[in-house]
Structure 1
Amino acid sequence: MAGAAMSSGWSVTITGEQWAALHAHLFPGDEDEHGAVLRCGIARSERGNRLLVRDVIPAIDGTDYVAGDRGNRLLVRDVIPAIDGTDYVAGDRGYRKLTAEFVADNIDVCADEGLAYLAVHNHGGHDKVAFSGTDMASHERGYPALLDINGGVPVGALVFASGAVAGDIWLGGEERAPIAHLRVVGRSRLELTPAPTAAAVADPRFDRQTRIFGDRGQQILANSKVAIVGLGGAGSVLSEYVARLGVGELVLIDPDRIDPTNLPRVVGARRRDALAWLRHPTRLALIRALGERFAAFKVNIAARVARQASSTIRITSVPRSVMEPDVAALLTDCDHIFLAADSALARRLVNSVSHQYLIPNTQIGAKVSVKDGEITDIFSVSRMSSPGSGCLQCNGLIPAWKLTVEATSPEQRKRQQYIDDDDVHAPSVITLNAVAASRAIDDWLMSVGGLVERDASADHWVSYHPRTGEVVEIEPVKDDGCLQCGPTRFALGDGKELPVAPASGNGG
C-alpha cells in the first residue's frame, strides 16, 4: 500500500456537541499533544462519499468559515475518549501513540458495525496544520493492516491545530485520499481546512449582503445545496428567498399541481398555471379533469421564480413524492433541508435523513385552528434542528396515528371515516407563510454566516401568534432512546435504510 493511488475530495462532518467535546479534549490549555479516535458511518452520493463520525475517542493525557468542498465526505457518529497514560502513551518512534489494545478495541467495533476508523491527535498552532514525517510513516506501517481488519472499510487519521485540520484516509482498492475540510454542523456552522483559503470577491449584486456576511459568507451561500420539500404557500416563499440570497444549488420536491385556491399564496403562480378557466365549477367534469391534469406542477413554478431571481442557480425540480426512494436519496447530500410539507410521513423521512446523514433541517408551517366555526388559534412556526439534538419525533410532532392514516389508501381512509378528510382544507393565508419562511431563512443565515451568539441554544424553535402578538421560544427535548435521532440511526449514513415508501400528497 505504500504506493497507493491518491483519491480526491473527502471531508468530515461532526455535530456541534461532538466538536465541543473533541476540541476541549485536544486543546485543554496545556499546550501538549492529545489523541482521539473517531468511529464513522459512511455515506455515498454523486457529490462524493462521506464518513459520518460515530465516535470521537479522545486520548486523555496528564476558524474560519469557508466554502465547503463538494467532493467525498466522512460523517461523525460517536466521540469516545482514550485516557492518557493508559490509552495514549509515549511513542516508540514519535512523541506519543495510541496503545495497540485501544486501537484493537476500536477497530473491532468498526469491523463489527461496518464503520470507518479515524485516529486523531493535535499539533500546536492555529490556522495551519499538516502531518509530520513520523505521522505519515506510522500510517504506512499500520493502516494497510487496519484496512484488512476492517474489511476494506476506510481507515485513516486527522491532525488538528486549534483552527485547522488535515487528514489522510486509506480506502480499498489501493487508494488514499486527503481530507479537504471538516464541517461542524449545528446552530453555528464552522468549517476547518488544512490552511486558510482566500474567499473570492462576491458578485457586486450582493453588495448589501456582503456588508453583513462578507465575501466568505457569500461564497458559502454560492456553494450551498439546499432542498425544499413542499412547494406550496410556505415552500414557494422559501424558494424565492434562497434564490435571491445567491444559493448555488436548489432541490425542489413536491408531487402536486397548482390549484386555483393556491393562487393567492403560492409565490409566482399565475392563473394560466392553474388553468383556472378550465377548472371553474360551471365547466363539465371532463373539462375540469383536463384542467387538473395539465395544470403546472408547483415545483416548476418555484423553479421559474428562482431562475428569474438568479441566473446562476442550479435547480433540480422533482414533481414526485419525497417518499419514493430515489427522490428521498436526493436529500442525503444536501447542506440544509427545509421541510414545508405537512404530512407526518414527510416529517419522519426528513427527520431520519437529518440525523442519519448529519444534515440540519428546518420544519416550517402556519396553522389556523377552527372549532365549531370559531377560530381558536393562529400561528406560524419555524423549527431549526441540528443532527443529534432533540428531533421532531422526540417532541411529539410525528404522531403515530397520523402516520397510520397517511399509510392507508384513500379508499381505506374513507371506509374507516377518518376525521382528517383529504378533501377538507385548513384555512391559510400568504402572510402567515411568509412569517414562518422569513424566520426560518434568518435562522439559517445566522448559522451559515457564523453570526449566532456563542451562548445561543443548539436548536431554535419559535412560534408567532399574531392574535396576541406573542412569540414563543421552545427548547426541544431529546429522548436518548429515540429511533430517529438516537443510536439506532444516528450518523449511520448508507448503513441504515430510510423510512421510504410510495406515497403522495406531501406538498404544501
Structure 2
Amino acid sequence: MSDRRLRVPARVVRELREALLRDDEQERFAFVDAGTGPASGHGEPDAPADAGGSADAPDLLAGEVVPVPDERLARQSKTACRPEPAVERDHVGDCYDRQLAPMLVHSHPFSDDPRFSSIDVEAMGRFREWLTGLFPDRPFGFAVVGQSGIEAVANAGERFAALPVEVVGEWKLDDPVPGAVDRFAPTDGGERDGATADGAATASNGDAPTADTDTPGGDDGIGERFDRNVRALGTDGQRRLRDATVGVVGVGGIGSQVAEQFARLGVGELVLVDPDTVEPSNLPRLVGAYDHHVGKPKVEAVREHAWRSSPGDIDVTAIAEPVEAVPERLADCDLVVGCVDRVTARSFCNEWAVKHLTYYVDAGVRIDTTDEQVVGMTGYVHLVAPGSTACFDCLGRHDQEAARIERLSPDEREAELERGYIDTEQVSPEPAVIHLNGLCASKTVSVATDVVTGVKTPPDFIRYEDTAHEMTALTTEPSRECPTCGDGGVLGVGQRSFGDAQFTPEDGPETATSD
C-alpha cells in the first residue's frame, strides 16, 4: 500500500477552483466532506506505522464541496481568510454526525502550485489541538488550492502528514493538477509471491501451473513474454498492468473472456467473484470451462484457465459468492469490471464504486428476437469514473421492475407468473452467443487498459450495434440530480466506519488563516 492519500474526483477539483479562485484574487474558504476508504495499493512495505504512513491507514475520499459565502467569513483579504467560528463548528459537527471527515480548504489565488504558509501551519496546529482534545480518533485534514495545484495534509496523531492527491478521472480536467499521484503508477518491486486462491471458495492452488521457465526478463516480470505488449503499450504501461489488481464480477460469457485477456496482458492480480456453477448451457460461451467443470463453481474453471493463460506468478483470488455478500473483497482492487446479468449486482457495483471513488467498467450485451428471429444485437461498455463521468444511475440504467423480480423468492416468482403479474420472458434465460460476448469483452479490456496504462484517453461509453456493425463512443457527464453520485448522493462517503458521536462544543479555536 502507498501512503495515505486524498482521492478527489475531477468534478470536485473543478468545483473548488470555481468557488475559491476569482478574478479579485481574494482568498476564499470551503469545506470538503470526505469519506474514509481502503488505503490505495502501491507502496512501501516499510512505511512507518502511523496514521499518515501506515499500510492500512485509510484514504480520504473527497465528495461534497461546501463553499463558505464571503459574508460568512470573519476575515478575508488577498493574503488571508477565516470563516466565522460558528460556521466552522456547525459544519464540522454536521460532518461528524454523518460519519464523514472534514477537510478545511482555502485558496492561494496568487500561486500556481501552492504550499501552506507558516501562518497556515500555526493555525492548523491550534485547530488540531482543539479538535483532537474533543475527538481523538476522528480524521480531518486541510488543503490549499492554487491556480492549478493542490496541497493537502491529514491529522496523524501529534503531527500532520502530507496527503498526496489522486484525481479520479483526471483526463476530464482542462488543467491537470501538477504532482497528482496515480494509483496505477508502477512500483520498483520485483516479482509477485505467486498464485493464490480462496480455498473456501475453490479448490486448492496445487493444480496451478508453475512459472514459465522460458520467460526471461529479470525481476520486473516483463521479459520476452510481453515483448509485443511493450511495443504497443510501452515498458511503463506493461509495468502498470503488472502492478494492477483488477476485480471481475461475473465470470460468464463476457467475464470469462475478460479474465483471460487480463491474464494474457500480464495483469498482476485478478479477483474473480461469481456465485454460480457451470451448467451445460454455459459451455458454448464460458471460456476455460469443459464438461468436467459442470456442477463446479464458475470461478474455479476461470481461475484455472487464467493461470494457464498467464505467467505462473499471477495472483488469482476466486470467490464463489454474490458480490453483495463480499464487498470487502473489492477494497483491494484498483479497478472493478462488472460482467453480470443481474440488475441488482450491477447496481451494487456501481454504488460501491461511487462510494469508494474506484473505477468501474460495466459491460453487457442484449439480443432481441421475434419468433426466434434476431432483430437486434447490442453490446455496451460503460466506464464509471466517479464524479467525473456519468454513473449507472445518471443514465437511468437501473431497471426497478427487473430488480424487484430478482429479489423474489422462487415461490413468490412462481405465484406472480401464475397470476400474470410477470410474464415468462421476464424470467427466461437471455439469448447469448460467444462472438458478441467476445467483441464486448475485448472492448471492455481495451477501456480498462486505457485507464491503467494512460496510453490514451478512455471513452466514457461505447455502444455497438451488431446488425449494422456500427460502434459509437459517447461522452457522459455526472448528473447533479443523480440519486447515487449527485447532490445528496453517496459520492465519496466510503465506509462510514468511525462512529456517530454528536459534536456540540460551545467554543472553538481561532480559525485557520493563511498568507
Query: Is TM more than 0.5 here?
Result: yes
**Structure with bigger RCO (C-alpha 8 Å, 6+ apart):** 2
Q: Is 2:26–2:76's contact at 8 Å kept on the other side of the alignment? A: no
How far apart, in 2, do the equivalents of 1:220 and 1:33 lie?
Answer: 39
Q: Which residue of 2 aligns with 1:117?
A: 102
How far apart, in 1, do the equivalents of 2:154 and 2:230 lie?
Answer: 36
Q: Is 1:107–1:149's contact at 8 Å kept on the other side of the alignment? A: no
Q: Which residue of 1 aligns with 2:45?
A: none
Q: Which residue of 2 aligns with 1:285?
A: none
- State the 1:210 CA deviation: 4.1
1:2-401 matched pairs, under 5 angstroms? 9-23=3-17, 36-44=30-38, 72-82=58-68, 87=73, 89=75, 95-101=79-85, 102-121=87-106, 131-148=116-133, 152-159=137-144, 166-170=151-155, 174=157, 178-179=161-162, 181-186=164-169, 188=171, 200=188, 203-204=222-223, 205-274=225-294, 292=295, 295=296, 297-308=297-308, 309-324=310-325, 327-388=326-387, 389-401=389-401
Larger deviation, residues 475-484 vs 239-248: 475-484
Larger deviation, residues 215-224 vs 440-449: 215-224
How far apart, in 1, do the equivalents of 2:433 and 2:283 lie?
Answer: 11
Q: Is 1:35–1:121's contact at 8 Å kept on the other side of the alignment? A: yes
How far apart, in 1, do the equivalents of 2:447 and 2:106 lie?
Answer: 33
Sequence identity of aligned pairs in percent? Answer: 26
Q: Is 1:364–1:440's contact at 8 Å kept on the other side of the alignment? A: yes
Larger deviation, residues 487-496 vs 335-344: 487-496
Q: Is 2:249–2:336's contact at 8 Å kept on the other side of the alignment? A: yes
> TM-score normalised to the size of structure 1?
0.74
Which is richer in strand? 1
| CA 112–342 in structure 1, closer or farther in 2 if over 3 Å, else same | same
Q: How many residues align?
A: 439
Correspondence for 1:429 among 407, 430, 433: 433
- State the 1:443 CA deviation: 1.9
State the SS of the aligned residue for 2:337.
strand
State the SS of the aligned residue for 1:323.
helix
| CA 26–250 in structure 1, closer or farther in 2 if over 3 Å, else same | farther
How far apart, in 1, do the equivalents of 2:290 and 2:67 lie?
Answer: 58
1:415-494 matched pairs, under 5 angstroms? 415-417=415-417, 418-420=422-424, 424-452=428-456, 460-474=460-474, 480-486=480-486, 487-494=488-495
Q: Is 1:39–1:115's contact at 8 Å kept on the other side of the alignment? A: yes
State the SS of the aligned residue for 1:434.
helix
Query: What are the Cα deviations for residues 445-468 of structure 1, in whole angstroms up to 9, with x where unaligned?
Result: 223333455xx8xx6222211221
Q: In structure 2, what residue type is equivalent to 1:78?
A: E
Is there any run of 5+ residues in structure 1 with no aligned partner, and where?
1-6, 49-68, 275-291, 497-508
State the SS of the aligned residue for 1:22.
helix
How far apart, in 2, do the equivalents of 1:253 and 1:465 lie?
Answer: 28
Q: In structure 1, what residue type is equivalent to 2:348?
A: L
State the SS of the aligned residue for 1:10.
coil
Q: In structure 1, what residue type is equivalent to 2:259?
A: S
Q: Is 1:166–1:194's contact at 8 Å kept on the other side of the alignment? A: no
Q: Which residue of 1 aligns with 2:196?
A: none
Q: Is 2:16–2:65's contact at 8 Å kept on the other side of the alignment? A: yes
Please tell me the root mean square deviation across aligned C-alpha atoms, in Å: 3.8
- State the 1:167 CA deviation: 3.4
Q: In structure 1, what residue type is equivalent to 2:11?
A: E
